[in-house]
Chain A
Amino acid sequence: MQRYSGFGLVKHALNHHENWQRQWRNPTPKKQYDIVIVGGGGHGLATAYYLAKVHNITNVAVIEKGWLGGGNTARNTTIVRSNYLWDEAAALFEHSMKLWEGLSQDINYNVMFSQRGVLNLGHTLQDMRDIQRRVNANRLNGIDGEVLDAKGVQEIVPILDCSSRARYPVLGASWQPRGGVARHDAVAWGYARAADALGVDLLQNTEVTGFKIRDGRVYGVHTNRGDIEAKTVGCVAAGNSGVLAKMAGFKLPLESHPLQALVSEPLKPVLDTVVMSNHVHGYISQSDKGDLVIGAGIDGYVGYGQRGSYPTVEHTLQAIVEMFPIFSRVRMNRQWGGIVDTCPDASPILSATPVKGMFFNCGWGTGGFKATPGSGHVFAATLAKGEAHPLAAPFSIDRFHTGALVDEHGAAGVAH
């Protein structure tokens, strides 16, 4: 792999940038791999990378029905934070946050991780009590966080309407300075390039259409490009996880919903942090290119069409304009949807399944981008050892029968 560096940039400039190496190969599928990962989004690619890097398992294929990152990975609003309420979730998301902090160096790819801070606004007394509880829990877990009053919020975001005239006045917020945003496609491409360099085969335009299962144990997958054998299969397919589980003969406690986002025309720098509001339901940041990146809520119905409904967009823009009257005349450029796999307790599933050798990493719903490095890291360990990594153990499917739920509706309540 040709390493990227400032020096390399200058060198290639002399050749008019015509000799850059391809970022990854386009291999022909082999008949057999040690481990097959279904789904070439950020989580699947990160899993493959850590399998090769940490566990020295390189006879691995990532099977992707479309193009790398074309699912939710390159459709999200890129918010990264780790201020979750419960110990289990906080540990997993903070593990991820630590990996983010060294990620560009680790994979030699600029993922533009920008720790510009994340505000979660409170608009009611109950919001503020919940925020206090969550920030206290975060601090006990060694996660940075502060409770701000309206004045403190106004200092960070001068353009936010913090006046008492607002229909839902801002009473305060939780503030996580280490939170921020990253460039989502660079995350997929960076992990892909690094995994490919270690020998992982990335098979695009290859759709898994069924599983080869004998005596309750998986030994391969059927694809539109022929059968591929593997004793261990990890499914990381976000909104389509339920479809894969059905092929394997079991159900998951998931529902797939459209979630949409939109971006505005590019503006001069006006917002240098991330603002989220559970109560009026909207979240916003400004990309380095200048466009406002705005996230909506999910459509309430089950849907697999990667688009959302207009009433949802309308409600979101109402919320944004309510918070930021200054944006009332900004024009929107593009709008799109992804299919998110929502779990009843708003926590993910990292788990063995009724089929031996088959594992699922899913249920990240509206908020898994921030977890990409950590999820890949612990799922790689789970696949390599055949048993759950300690950070993954609380997120087994069993919890929906034992009742040991990790209820993160408070911290994850707003889609993000």
Chain B
Amino acid sequence: MFHIYCPYCEEHREEEEFHPRGQAHLQRPADPENCSDKEWGDYLFFRDNPRGIHHELWVHSVGCRKFFNITRHTANYEILETYKMGERPSITAETLAADERQSGVQAASGGWQTVGARPEDEALNTEARA
């Protein structure tokens, strides 16, 4: 069971309050009438579907009902970060790879289905991991 930090409610809540809504940061073609079949098909149907770091849209459907983003590892399910609509992720596959190169340890390999909190908020992290 995920224990998800809603950036609007500023609280951890159980997975069942939320719904996943697929890949985040998708750009609708600015001028759909004039885009090619290729562009339109790519927008509608083709997703990153990575085995690894995934930025995804969730909705706090029985809570504040707001949409927000989660960065999550799709193999070990660790939630690395949650952030509001319109914000950009501070953790990405690239930043993690860079961290890993620097520290010589493998990042994001930790938990089973661990919890997410804002990485800068150490208190939340420790509380949630306890």
Residues of A within 8 A of B (CB): 240, 242-243, 246, 251-256, 300-305, 309-311, 344, 400-403
Asked if A344 and B72 sit within 8 Å, CB to CB, the answer is: no
Inter-chain residue pair count (beta carbon < 8 A): 67
B37 touches A403 (CB 8 A): yes
Q: Is the CB of A305 within 8 A of B38?
A: no
**Cβ-defined contact, B51 with A255, below 8 A:** no
Point out the residues of chain B lying under 8 angstroms from A252, CB to CB.
46, 49
B1 in complex: contacting residue of A301, A304, A310, A403, CB < 8 Å? A310
A-B contact pairs, 14 of them (CB 8 A): A256-B74, A300-B19, A300-B20, A302-B22, A302-B23, A303-B74, A304-B75, A305-B74, A305-B75, A309-B15, A310-B1, A311-B1, A344-B44, A403-B41
**Alpha-carbon gap, A344 to B44, bound state (A):** 9
Task: Determine the residue in chain A with the shortest Cβ distance to B19.
Answer: A300
Residue of A nearest to B38 (CB): A401
By DSSP majority rule, is chain A's interface helix, strand, loop, or mixed?
loop
Report chain B residues within 8 Å CB of A255.
Answer: 22, 47, 49
Contact A253 B45 (CB under 8 A): yes
Assess the A242–B15 pair: CB atoms within 8 A: no
B41-80 interface bits toward A, Cβ cutoff 8 Å, 1 = contact, 0 = none: 1101111111100101000000000000000101111000
Q: Which residues does chain A contribute within 8 Å of B22, judged by CB atoms? A: 255, 302
Give how many B residues have a beta carbon under 8 Å from the other chain's beta carbons.
28
Chain A proximity of B79: nearest CB distance (Å): 11
A219 to B118, CA, bound (A): 46
User: Smallest CB-CB separation from A306: which chain B residue?
Assistant: B75
Residue from B15, B42, B47 with most neighbouring chain A CB atoms (10 Å)? B47
Instruction: Take A310-B1, A344-B45 as given contacts and tell me if A304 and B51 are in contact as well, using a CB distance cutoff of 8 Å.
Output: yes
Query: Once the chains are docked, how many angstroms separate the CA of A344 from the CA of B22?
Result: 12
Chain A CB within 8 A of B8 CB: no
Find the A residue at minimum CB distance from B70.
A301
How far, in Å, is B37 (CB) from chain A's closest CB? 5
Looking at A240, A242, A302, A403, the one whose CB has the most chain B CB atoms below 10 A away is A302
> What residues of chain B lie closer than 8 Å to A240, measured between beta carbons?
51
Given A301-B72, A401-B41, A402-B37, is A242 in contact with B49 using a C-beta cutoff of 8 Å?
yes
CA distance A343 to B128 in the complex (A): 36
A243, B41: Cα distance in complex, Å: 20
Interface: B99 (CB within 8 A): no
Docked complex Cα distance between A83 and B99 (Å): 52
User: What residues of B have a CB within 8 angstroms of the CB of A402 in the complex?
Assistant: 37
Are A254 and B49 neighbours in the complex by a CB distance under 8 Å?
Answer: yes
The distance in angstroms between the C-alpha atoms of A274 and B20, with both chains bound, is 31
Q: B74–A304 contact, CB under 8 A?
A: yes
Q: Assuming the A-B contacts A300-B20, A310-B1, A311-B16, are A253 and B47 also in contact, with contact meaning beta carbons closer than 8 angstroms in the complex?
A: yes
Docked complex Cα distance between A253 and B48 (Å): 9
B19 partner residues in chain A, CB cutoff 8 A: 300
Residue of A nearest to B40 (CB): A401
Which residue of the partner chain, among A256, A304, A400, contacts B46 with CB atoms under 8 Å? A400
- Nearest-CB distance from B67 to chain A (Å)? 14
Which residue from chain A places its CB closest to the CB of B54 in the assembled complex?
A: A302
A254 to B47, CA, bound (A): 7
Q: What residue in chain A is nearest B49 (Cβ atoms)? A: A242
Which residues in window 7-35 of B have CB below 8 A to A?
Answer: 15-16, 19-20, 22-23
From 72 to 96 in chain B, residues with beta carbon under 8 angstroms from any chain A beta carbon are 72, 74-77
Q: Could you tell me the distance between the alpha carbons of A322 and B2 in the complex, rounded to whole angstroms?
A: 27
- Which of B51, B56, B77 has the most A CB atoms < 10 Å from its CB? B51
A-B contact sample (18 more), CB < 8 A, given A252-B46, A253-B46, A401-B38? A242-B50, A242-B51, A251-B48, A254-B47, A254-B49, A255-B49, A256-B51, A301-B74, A302-B50, A303-B74, A303-B77, A304-B51, A309-B15, A310-B1, A311-B16, A400-B41, A401-B42, A403-B37
Q: Taking CB as reference atom, which chain B residue is nearest A314? A: B16
The residues of A that contact B46 with a CB separation of less than 8 Å are 251-253, 400
Residues of B within 8 A of A243 (CB): 51
Q: How far is the CA of A302 from the CA of B76 in the complex (A)?
A: 12
